[in-house]
Amino acid sequence: MARVYNFSAGPAVLPEEVLEKCAGEMLDYAGCGTSVMEMSHRSSVFKGIIEGAEARLRSLMSIPDNYKVIFTQGGDSLLFSTVFMNLATNGKADYVITGNWAKKAFQEAQILGDAQAVASSADKNFSYIPDCSDLPIREDASYLYICENNTIYGTKFPELPNTKGHVLVADQSSMFLSEPVDVSRYGLIHAGVQKNVGPAGVQIVIVREDLIPDDLPGVPTMLRLKTQADAGSLYNTPNCWGIYVCGLVFEWIERMGGLAAMGERNAEKAAVLYDFLDESKLFSSTVDPSCRSLMNVPFVTGNEDLDAVFVKDAAKAGLVNLKGHRSVGGMRASIYNAMPREGVEALVAFMKEFELAHR
């Protein structure tokens, strides 16, 4: 068996310990004689799995008691609509546009009601986070929406915006559980788990209870947050397998020392790569140093043909999925929680060799 260093932006690398545990429990979960995939979501065994996963997540993130945790489906992209339908109670919400995913969330909101962009970094191909200290947020906007870590462009909000008393909603998909966050500063956090937490097909919503509307005329049952919040994410059949794997990843993060330790480890790991990019004569970072993501690191040589050679040669050396998103070009290394420091060091060692050979 030859595992590679997988720099995919998502679905992405998972901790080997977790994969081994899944493999070990595949045929017989805890003496049930079936895998988790084969058991009823109404069984007491699965109830233990989902409740255990939620309890671990609450403890990892210190989620206050007045927040609900929902495991849902439909893609993080569906949450762009769900958020607006549930939280924009007067049909108005304001958005900060820092990349494709923020833009898509904004566009969904525009389909549904009155969404306004209050800041954007489109002028420099989303290579920075705009100043959010004094945004023209409308008095009656229901919330301010941000995509806190921009998977494609490799930026992250260095600090949360001044919401001027408005509810803050954040898409944390590509930074979820990568460092400590103060949940009480948000009205709602949503994240697809396929980057830092588990297999594709599960999204997690953490929402302040008082923001969940009781009555939403015209909104389908499955798109009401209340439906899954009241049912403990078991209104309908959830992605049982995905939730089980998330639970194992939460357990792994606990064993690694929790989010503070994870944050330190991620900062150190990212520094290995950024330090090299800052000194390299061939490679450079595409992102303003004030807002570099610890999770997604785009970089270029400045020569598209050479970028393509790099991606191909790196793959041959066991460093895979380094091709950048088409909107930035070049390369992108996604170095989520489960990417070991050795993986980043191997990448930098390969980049150094490549630089010597191609300068």
Binding site for L-glutamate, residues?
Answer: 42
- Least CB distance from residue 129 to ligand PMP, whole Å? 14
Q: How many residues bind ligand PMP (CB under 6 A)?
A: 11
Site for ligand PMP in 91-110 (CB under 6 A): 101
CA–CA–CA angle 211, 213, 214 (5° rounding): 140
Task: Give the chain's length.
Answer: 359
Q: Which of 118, 87, 124 is nearest to 102 (CA)?
A: 118
In sign, the C-alpha dihedral spanning 91, 69, 108, 235 is negative
Give residue 171's Cα distance to chain centre. Answer: 7
Query: Judged by CB under 6 A, does residue 321 bind ligand PMP?
Result: no
Considering the complex, state which of residue 48 and residue 75 has its C-beta at the smaller distance from ligand PMP.
Answer: 75
Query: Judged by CB under 6 A, does residue 73 bind ligand PMP?
Result: no
Considering the complex, state which of residue 47 and residue 104 has its C-beta at the smaller distance from ligand PMP.
Answer: 104
CA–CA–CA angle 256, 260, 263 (5° rounding): 90
H/E segment holding residue 273: helix 258-279
Site for ligand PMP in 111-170 (CB under 6 A): 147, 151
β-strand partners of 72: 203
Binding ligand PMP by CB under 6 A: which of 24, 75, 158, 220? 75
Considering the complex, state which of residue 75 and residue 158 has its C-beta at the smaller distance from ligand PMP.
Answer: 75
Q: Are 60 and 178 in contact (CB under 8 A)?
A: no
Query: Judged by CB under 6 A, does residue 324 bind ligand PMP?
Result: no
Considering the complex, state which of residue 200 and residue 234 has its C-beta at the smaller distance from ligand PMP.
Answer: 200
Taking CB under 6 A as the binding criterion, the range among 54-62, 71-79, 180-188, 341-349 that sits at the site for ligand PMP is 71-79
Query: Judged by CB under 6 A, does residue 239 bind ligand PMP?
Result: no
- Least CB distance from residue 236 to ligand PMP, whole Å? 18
What x-and-dash track marks residues 189-228 binding ligand PMP by CB under 6 A? Answer: ---x------------------------------------
Three-state DSSP state, 119 = strand
Three-state DSSP state, 333 = strand
Binding ligand PMP by CB under 6 A: which of 54, 76, 108, 251? 76
Taking CB under 6 A as the binding criterion, the range among 19-27, 75-83, 262-270, 321-329 that sits at the site for ligand PMP is 75-83
Catalytic residues: 101, 171, 195
Query: Judged by CB under 6 A, does residue 171 bind ligand PMP?
Result: yes
- N-terminal to C-terminal alpha carbon distance within the chain: 35
Strand segments (E) across the chain: 5-6, 67-72, 92-97, 114-120, 143-147, 149-150, 155-156, 167-171, 188-192, 203-208, 284-285, 296-300, 319-320, 331-334
Binding residues for ligand PMP, per CB under 6 A?
10, 75-77, 101, 147, 151, 171, 173-174, 192
